[in-house]
């Protein structure tokens, strides 16, 4: 598998409905993302960007074509195997922070490790390490209500990276934040990508957010219209 892109689509189609109601959300998409890249995925509503992201995150499968994750044909895996792949190699960050309200920041970050059966002392150590990476040292015992929106998203990012994934899937990660907090979150993602080699695939509709990525994929009508590379974030 060495030398394979981390993510590869080959003639990927995703079709919903039948007959006159048939809709091609993806129509023969070819793309690849190398390990260590930071890629923004853009496009208007209905362009296929969210469908592509769901397939990348192993939340959905192609109707036809091949989706390979690190050389493995993930599109042909059964549901349980795809869940295992997600749990081992992919972290997720969403527009909504999806934190447990009555649970501390550290406890929220520990959740993926509980599912892996990691012992309590090791969970705590790794949760604190992840919170430190996102700039929240000293906030580990705060609940979401005691944190700002930007801080809550940092907790969500810490939870996504505490398992040390190969890929971070970020779906509109700044959608609920003001411009200053959005800048902080994007600088954090840029730093994680640069300093740890974490691959980031991010859906956004905001061009100023996409500008932080090194490359932008633009979807239109189920196709990749443009696969240009943006400027490297400073």
Radius of gyration of the chain (CA): 18
Contacts of 198 (CB under 8 A, 6+ apart): 36, 161, 165, 166, 167, 168, 192
Phi and psi (nearest 5°) for 57? -80, 5
**Per-residue confidence (pLDDT) for residue 226, from 0 to 100:** 83
**Element (H or E) spanning 195, and its range?**
helix 179-196
Instruction: Please report, in tens digits, the pLDDT of each residue of the chain (234 residues total).
Output: 446 899 999 999 999 988 888 999 999 999 999 999 999 999 999 999 999 999 999 999 999 999 999 999 999 999 999 999 999 999 999 988 899 999 999 999 999 999 889 999 999 999 999 999 999 999 999 999 999 999 999 999 999 999 999 999 999 999 889 999 999 999 999 999 999 999 999 999 999 999 999 999 999 999 999 887 544 433
Closest to 88 measured CA to CA, from 156, 36, 163: 163
**Per-residue confidence (pLDDT) for residue 20, from 0 to 100:** 83
Closest to 189 measured CA to CA, from 207, 168, 164, 165: 168
Which two tokens mark 212?
A: 């932080």
Cα-Cα-Cα-Cα torsion 139, 101, 97, 140, nearest 10 degrees, comes to 10
Alpha carbon 198 to its chain's center: 11
What are the start-end ranges of the E strands in the chain?
Answer: 7-16, 23-33, 38-42, 64-69, 72-73, 90-94, 167-171, 199-203, 215-220, 223-226
Cα–Cα–Cα angle for 48, 53, 54, nearest 5°? 100
Closest to 70 measured CA to CA, from 167, 163, 201: 167
CA 126/CA 77 separation, integer angstroms: 30
**Per-residue confidence (pLDDT) for residue 3, from 0 to 100:** 63
| 8 A C-beta contact, residue 156 and residue 96 | no
Domain ranges of the chain: 7-226
Answer CATH for 7-226 from 3.40.50.300, 3.40.50.720, 3.90.550.10, 3.30.750.24: 3.40.50.300
């Amino acid at each position: 598998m060495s030398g394979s892109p981390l993510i590869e689509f080959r003639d990927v189609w995703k079709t919903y409905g039948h007959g006159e109601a048939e809709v091609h959300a993806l129509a023969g998409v070819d793309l690849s993302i190398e390990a260590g890249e930071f890629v923004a995925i853009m496009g208007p509503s209905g362009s296929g960007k969210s469908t592509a992201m769901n397939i990348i995150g192993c939340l959905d499968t192609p109707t036809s074509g091949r989706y390979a994750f690190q050389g493995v044909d993930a599109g042909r895996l059964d549901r349980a195997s795809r869940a295992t792949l997600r749990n081992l190699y992919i972290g997720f960050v969403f527009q909504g922070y999806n934190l447990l309200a009555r649970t501390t920041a550290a406890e929220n970050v520990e959740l993926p490790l509980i599912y892996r059966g990691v012992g309590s002392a090791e969970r705590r150590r790794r949760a604190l390490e992840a919170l430190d990476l996102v700039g929240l040292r000293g906030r580990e015992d705060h609940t979401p209500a005691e944190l700002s929106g930007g801080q809550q998203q940092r907790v969500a990012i810490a939870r996504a990276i505490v398992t040390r994934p190969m890929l971070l899937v970020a779906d509109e990660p700044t959608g609920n934040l003001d411009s200053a907090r959005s800048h902080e979150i994007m600088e954090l993602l840029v730093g994680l990508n640069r300093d740890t080699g974490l691959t980031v695939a991010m859906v956004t509709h905001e061009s100023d957010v996409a500008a932080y990525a090194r490359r932008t994929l633009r979807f239109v009508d189920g196709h990749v219209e443009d696969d240009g590379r943006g400027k490297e974030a400073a």
